[in-house]
């Protein structure tokens, strides 16, 4: 497995693979790998000849009062895990190599970024789309694999690829959960035992919304009251949003139907911000 630190080295390697007829699947990550990341790598291995994993804690998607400094990092641990998967190369650039002095270009998707996380994290998604577009330009993948845990991010990246005619096929993986239902996240490492219990407020709220919907409650106003009371019954929780949105436009909905996604963002003990989501009426599986 190759490890590249500079964009020039990564691009040169990718060009050589393309000239030899190999296809590349990219898994963009911020590191501190868990089973969710490893599942993305395994899916990527099914989509192309070679898997490239990028590992970059992108500073431009963190606001001034967010957890950039506390975001978990352990490069050697990550390399131990990634070497157990079918990964051909890791791209682990420095912030200085990705954003050299004088950098001033931004890629943004307007409408999809104003909802959900975009309301409380101004500039976040512009940071995401800028870095993802840079990764696509550097790695030149045929396929890129993302998790569905950040539903809004996935929708925005799909829109960017479509709007900008970027020749990358986007593949998504359903949320990977712990045995108790908690969505896997690198930020889970920042939870102490008490906060770990409070973190279950998100997944249990999703299950509660589905149960109430099956019982005939489809009014978003009524469901929102039920879910907010449920989440706040866990000690130390504060709701950023509990929103019922259209799965394609992310616009708020008033009545639940087959297109409705429940998107959740909750702060635990004022320190750890977690997200979760899911269709309120689950899609049938084959």
Long-range contacts of 15-23 (CB under 8 A, 24+ apart): 15/140, 17/49, 17/50, 18/140, 22/48, 22/49, 22/50, 23/48, 23/49, 23/50, 23/142, 23/143
Report the 10 Å Cβ neighbour count for 83: 10
Residue 286 pLDDT > 60, yes or no? no
Confidence at 199, pLDDT banded by 50, 70, 90: very high
* pLDDT computed for residue 168 by the predictor: 98
- Collect all residues with Cβ–Cβ distance below 8 Å to 165 and sequence separation of at least 6: none
CA distances (Å), 131 to each of 55, 56, 229, 242, in order?
12, 9, 37, 27
* pLDDT computed for residue 285 by the predictor: 63
Residue 258 pLDDT > 60, yes or no? yes
- CATH architecture group of domain 2-173: 3-Layer(aba) Sandwich (3.40)
Q: Out of 34, 37, 124, 230, pick the active-site residue.
A: 37
pLDDT tens track for 31-73: 999 999 999 999 999 999 999 999 999 999 998 878 899 899 9
The CATH code of domain 186-278 reads 3.30.1300.10
* Residue 44: burial class (beta carbons within 10 Å; 0-12, 13-18, 19+): buried
- Is 37 considered catalytic here? yes
User: What are the structural domain ranges in the chain?
Assistant: 2-173, 186-278
Token pair 């396929």 is at which residue? 143
* pLDDT computed for residue 149 by the predictor: 94
**Whole-model pTM?**
0.93
Mean pLDDT, the chain, integer:
96
| Contact present, 158 and 170 (Cβ < 8 Å) | yes
50-55 and 169-173 as β-strands: parallel, antiparallel, unpaired?
A: unpaired
Cross-strand pairs, 89? 2, 52
Q: What is the mean pLDDT of residues 19-32?
A: 97
pLDDT tens track for 140-185: 999 999 999 999 999 999 999 999 999 999 999 999 999 999 999 9
* pLDDT computed for residue 140 by the predictor: 98
| Contact present, 105 and 91 (Cβ < 8 Å) | no
């Amino acid at each position: 497995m190759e490890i590249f630190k500079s964009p020039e080295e990564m691009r040169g390697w990718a060009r050589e693979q393309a000239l030899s007829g190999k296809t590349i699947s990219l898994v963009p990550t911020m590191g501190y790998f868990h089973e969710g990341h490893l599942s993305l790598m395994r899916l990527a291995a099914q989509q192309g000849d070679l898997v490239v994993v990028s590992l970059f804690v992108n500073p431009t998607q963190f606001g001034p009062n967010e957890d950039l400094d506390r975001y978990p990092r352990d490069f050697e641990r990550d390399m131990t895990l990634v070497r157990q998967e079918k990964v051909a190369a890791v791209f682990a650039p420095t912030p200085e190599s990705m954003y050299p002095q004088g950098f001033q270009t931004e890629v943004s998707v307007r409408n999809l970024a104003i909802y959900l996380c975009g309301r409380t994290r101004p500039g976040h998604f512009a940071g995401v789309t800028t870095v993802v577009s840079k990764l696509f330009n550097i790695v030149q993948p045929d396929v890129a694999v993302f998790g569905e845990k950040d539903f809004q991010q996935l929708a925005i990246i799909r829109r960017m690829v479509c709007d900008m005619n970027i020749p990358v096929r986007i593949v998504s993986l359903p949320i990977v959960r712990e045995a108790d239902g908690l969505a896997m996240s690198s930020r889970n490492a920042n939870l102490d035992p008490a906060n770990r219990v409070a973190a279950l407020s998100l997944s249990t709220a999703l299950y509660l919304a589905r149960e109430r919907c099956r019982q005939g409650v489809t009014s978003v106003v009524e469901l929102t009251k039920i879910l907010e009371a449920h989440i706040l019954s866990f000690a130390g929780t504060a709701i950023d949003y509990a929103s019922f949105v259209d799965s394609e436009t992310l616009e708020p909905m008033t009545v639940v139907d087959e297109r409705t996604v429940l998107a959740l963002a909750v702060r635990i003990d004022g320190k750890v911000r977690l997200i979760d989501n899911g269709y309120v009426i689950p899609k049938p599986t084959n």
